[in-house]
């Protein structure tokens, strides 16, 4: 091999090794290993399963669905990525596991939202002076057949709901029919822009750490190795 090729190959090999180490020995690799093992056999660890409607301690939110908390706030699936919410996996089939409202508020489903609703909470239970939004998504199958409750048609705006209201069912819709996501619910707590609108949930800086809302260790910076469950 020429010196030029060696010169080019070395940094590529280092980069590949770095990515491998990142995912296998990084900050939250211990928890991810447990999650991927559970994916292979969802019946293997019943002690990890949370139940819809559960309230952990004095936390204001109830748990929104049945399942295992697989990925949490500020997890990373690739270098540079920061997960802005919580992923809850039921281990069942699509369209089976109910999703309920974790807290009361005013529900909106925009006209083009197939698998998503967002609920405006005028007074954050942790800081009543501010408004927050609670975002729920992946409630459709991979072809885009919606599992959102028929009570909330596309275009619904500011429909008041109570905590525990059925929103829909877990699905695997990703927006790309050729690349479905794993079956789960994604939920995040989104910041208000100061003008009565929600910010983009795709950026973690536009979301809040959900830990105190649910009374669970849902921040990957503080919980690198444990699947969260109520004490």
4-50 pLDDT, tens digit each: 433 333 333 323 323 333 333 345 678 889 999 999 999 888 999 99
Mean pLDDT, to the nearest integer, of 171-196?
Answer: 95
Give residue 79's pLDDT. Answer: 78
> Contact, 75 vs 83, CB < 8 A?
yes
Q: What phi and psi, each to the nearest 5 degrees, are found at residue 161?
A: -135, 155
- H/E segment holding residue 107: strand 105-108
For the chain, the domains span 28-214
Q: Which two tokens stand for residue 101?
A: 């409202």
Choice between 184 and 23, residue whose per-residue pLDDT is larger: 184
Rounded to whole angstroms, how far apart are CA atoms 208 and 140? 25
Model confidence pLDDT, tens digit, residues 128-170: 999 999 999 999 999 999 999 999 999 999 999 999 999 999 9
Q: How confident is the model at residue 81 (pLDDT cuts 50, 70, 90)?
A: confident
Euclidean distance between the first and final Cα of the chain, in Å? Answer: 58
According to the model, what pLDDT value does residue 4 have?
Answer: 43
Q: Can you tell me the distance from the alpha carbon of 103 to that of 49, in angstroms, rounded to the nearest whole number?
A: 21
**In the numeric block, which tokens belong to residue 41?**
């056999």
199, burial (CB in 10 Å: exposed 0-12, middle 13-18, buried 19+): middle
pLDDT score, position 20: 33
In sequence order, the β-bridge partners of residue 180 are: none
**In this structure, what token pair is assigned to residue 19?**
């990515």
Q: Cα–Cα distances in Å, from 121 out to 29, 71, 104, 185, 198?
A: 34, 24, 7, 20, 11
What distance in Å separates the CA atoms of residue 89 and residue 149, rounded to the nearest whole number? 19
- Confidence class for position 1, pLDDT limits 50, 70, 90: very low
Does the domain made of 28-214 have the CATH classification 2.60.40.10? Answer: no
Closest CA to 207 of 150, 137, 156, 113: 137
State the average pLDDT for the chain.
89
> What sign does the dihedral 87-89-95-99 (CA atoms) show?
negative
What's the confidence (pLDDT) of residue 28? 63
What's the pLDDT at 27? 56
User: What mean pLDDT comes out for the span 181-187?
Assistant: 96
């Amino acid at each position: 091999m020429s010196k030029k090729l060696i010169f080019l190959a070395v940094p590529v090999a280092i980069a590949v090794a770095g990515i491998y180490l990142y995912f296998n020995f990084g900050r939250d690799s211990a928890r991810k290993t447990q999650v991927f093992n559970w994916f292979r056999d969802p019946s293997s660890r019943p002690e990890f399963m949370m139940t819809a409607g559960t309230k952990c301690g004095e936390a204001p939110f109830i748990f929104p669905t049945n399942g295992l908390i697989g990925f949490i706030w500020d997890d990373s699936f690739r270098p540079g990525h920061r997960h802005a919410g919580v992923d809850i996996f039921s281990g069942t089939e699509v369209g089976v596991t109910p999703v309920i409202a974790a807290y009361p508020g005013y529900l909106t489903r925009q006209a083009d939202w197939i698998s998503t609703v967002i609920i405006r909470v005028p007074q954050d239970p942790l800081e009543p002076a501010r408004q927050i939004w609670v975002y729920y998504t992946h409630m459709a199958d991979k072809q885009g057949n919606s599992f959102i409750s028929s009570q909330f048609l596309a275009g619904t705006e500011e429909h008041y709901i109570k905590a525990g209201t059925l929103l829909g069912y877990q699905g695997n819709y990703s927006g790309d029919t050729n690349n479905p996501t794993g079956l789960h619910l994604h939920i995040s707590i989104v910041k208000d822009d100061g003008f009565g609108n929600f910010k983009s949930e795709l950026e973690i800086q536009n979301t809040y750490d959900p830990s105190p809302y649910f009374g669970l260790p849902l921040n990957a910076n503080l919980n690198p190795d444990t699947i969260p469950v109520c004490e």
